[in-house]
Amino acid sequence: MQITPLLINGQDTVPTSADPVDSSTTFQGVTPALALQAISSSAQAFTSWSKSSPSYRRQLLQKIAGLLSERADEFVQCMQQEIHAPAVWAEINVHDSINLLNETAGLISDSMMGSVPVTNGESYAMVLKEPLGVVLSMVPWNAPIILGLRGIVAPLAAGNTVILKGSELSPRTHYLLASLFRDAGFPPGVVNFILHRAEDAEDIFQTMIAHPAVRKCNFTGSTNVGRIIASKAAWALKPVLLELGGKNFALVLDDADIELAAREIIKGAFLNIQNGQICMSTDLVFAVQEIAPSITSRILSHLELITSPYEVISPASKQRLQNLVDDAKAKGASIHQADTPCLHDHQFPATVIEGLTSDMDYFSMESFGPVVGIMQVESEVEANELSQRLAYGLSASIFTASHFKALKLAGNIRSGAIHVNAMTVHDEATLPHGGQGESGWGRFGAKWGLDRTVNAPDIDTHHGENCHQDQIPHPERELFPQMRPASTSEEVHSAQHKGRYGCHLEDDSRNHDVGSWFRVSDNLAGFRCGGSAADGLYNEGDDITGTEYPEVGSRLQIGAFGTKEVDETP
């Protein structure tokens, strides 16, 4: 019997003291002691990996892309065997994963670039980008290659080490994924791989998230599990990125291309994806009443062309789908199913629910299977109101001939992604991916994903009282080359910080000699001490030396930064 091992510190790990777990593939379940061993390995590897150059990390990620391309057939076959995936879906997983690796590799240098922000002039600051530490990545079974890589590539690119927690429903595929990093030459411990039994999930996660070396986690999966992860991560004060469930809808307006809309809806619900078992699958159709009969007719015509049942992940999943369909039927909906006999308990026919209403369980509950419901609405306003009642907000589609109308509607839709005249299933390596509401928070993908895997500490260097400004480069000196240090020979004798000529120098803590320059704002140097006509308007840097002194009680306005009250005259 082949047992899928854990991978810790570069070594396959199958301890004799633990029992393997039976699933679609027999695998070794992690124990708390092994989980701590994986954390220790990752923490030790972080010391050197975090200091590796962006170019080094880029080369290794590109090498992973090459290895995945070479082993594509092995990955496709394994994914088909474990989760009953159609070959085309497994091939899409490989193709998209290679794109993700190459895109992320190309972003590494820019994503780690710091900045020099503007300060108040009393200090110089640098904002750095530094890796967090050990990142725990928990990935799902339904798209095990692309979603597995998505959870670990960005943290690795930013210099973090990763513990990949694979799914018990696709353990072999996730092990093959982790093995790529070892075979590509990643140092031991940079990528560790663990699995555990479903009943051990809460204890193992609690052990890991509480460890001080684990600085962040990301999770892709169900909303119910996401709640548990969020609560335990909050207790440990650890940030978490969540991509959870969805109830994705397509809004079909009266000016839509009906054939295009029907084709994209069917594709988003059933075809060329994981049998409806993907977070972005099209679940609901809101059709305005003028075109509802025609769009329903076209969708049902496409349904008749489906010639085989769909494989779902488990008998329990099949029963859950059947319960949703039965509830809709009992409440008055018409059920249409493809004429495809289901020969075993992993199969479910493509199903269209016509006449869906908001009181049916299917309207609000995530279905995660080959089912789509059609709901007639009076207008896009009603459709938007119904969509706002959904707890989820992951993906949506708008079908209309007017791009202006689509953009206007999109601004009112609560969703992580909105697609115009295309299906709800769409993801690219260059785009952010994530949801709102019970679909989670945070973003995977491209620079958005990389930004969430780093700290941004700022380093401030202050001038200090004894630091001569002539010795420090500063942008202000280019604006005011005449500026010289203000006198520090006299003490401040009041809270007003009076100047020699009576101005309240509220932005400075020292008196100044005639002719010296002082600062009056956070961004620019000040004006020169001296007399001036009362109530004059001056910009920073203006020489206001003159023969007339301001009157007591008048105010001098210094550019846009406020006024200075004249308190006394010589």
Note the pLDDT tens digit of each residue in 20-42: 655 556 787 889 999 999 999 99
Residue 255 has pLDDT above 80, yes or no: yes
Torsion of the alpha carbons at 390, 392, 396 and 398, rounded to the nearest 10 = 20
Q: DSSP for 486-532?
A: PP-SS---STT-B-TTSBB-TT-SS---TT-B---SSSS---B-S--
Q: Is residue 470 over pLDDT 70? A: no
pLDDT band per the 50, 70, 90 thresholds, residue 2: confident
Mean pLDDT confidence for 95-118 = 93
Q: Sorting pLDDT into bands at 50, 70 and 90, what band is 17?
A: low
Structure confidence at residue 121 as a pLDDT band (50, 70, 90):
confident
Q: How many residues does the chain have?
A: 570
Confidence of residue 104 (pLDDT cuts 50, 70, 90): very high
In angstroms, the first-to-last Cα distance of the chain is: 99
Q: What is the mean pLDDT of residues 231-257?
A: 97
Q: Tell me what the mean pLDDT of segment 262-274 comes to.
A: 85
Kindly state the percentage of the chain with pLDDT values over 70. Answer: 78
Domain ranges of the chain: 6-244+449-458, 248-427, 469-570
- Looking at the chain, the whole-number percentage of residues with pLDDT higher than 90 is 67
Buried/exposed code over 200-220 (b: 16+ C-beta within 10 A; e: otherwise): bbeebbebbbebebbbbbbbb
Weakest mean pLDDT among 3-17, 119-133, 189-203, 453-467: 453-467
The CATH number assigned to the domain with range 6-244+449-458 reads 3.40.605.10
pLDDT band at residue 123, thresholds of 50, 70 and 90?
confident
Choosing from 82, 103, 168, 243, which is the catalytic residue? 243
Predicted structure pTM score: 0.78
Contacts of 168 (CB under 8 A, 6+ apart): 21, 23, 27, 141, 195, 196, 197, 198
What is the arithmetic mean of pLDDT over 551-558?
Answer: 46
Domain 248-427 is found in CATH 3.20.20.70: no
How many other CB atoms are there within 10 angstroms of residue 270's CB atom? Answer: 24
Q: What is the pLDDT of residue 3?
A: 86
Q: What integer is the mean pLDDT of 93-116? A: 94
Distances (CA, A) of 139 to 6, 97, 168, 221, 368: 15, 14, 10, 7, 17
**What's the whole-number average pLDDT of the chain?**
83
Position with higher pLDDT, 252 vs 479: 252
310: exposed, middle or buried (Cβ count in 10 Å: 0-12, 13-18, 19+): buried
pLDDT higher than 70, residue 270: yes
**Cα–Cα nearest to 248, from 396, 408, 135:** 396
515-541 pLDDT, tens digit each = 333 333 333 333 333 433 333 444 444
Residue range 298-319: mean pLDDT, rounded: 91
- Largest alpha-carbon pair distance within the chain? 103
Write the CA distances from 387 to 246, 264, 413, 468, integer angstroms. 12, 19, 8, 63
Confidence of residue 16 (pLDDT cuts 50, 70, 90): low
Q: Is 199 a catalytic residue?
A: no
Listed residue (72, 109, 113, 112) closest to 93, CA to CA = 72
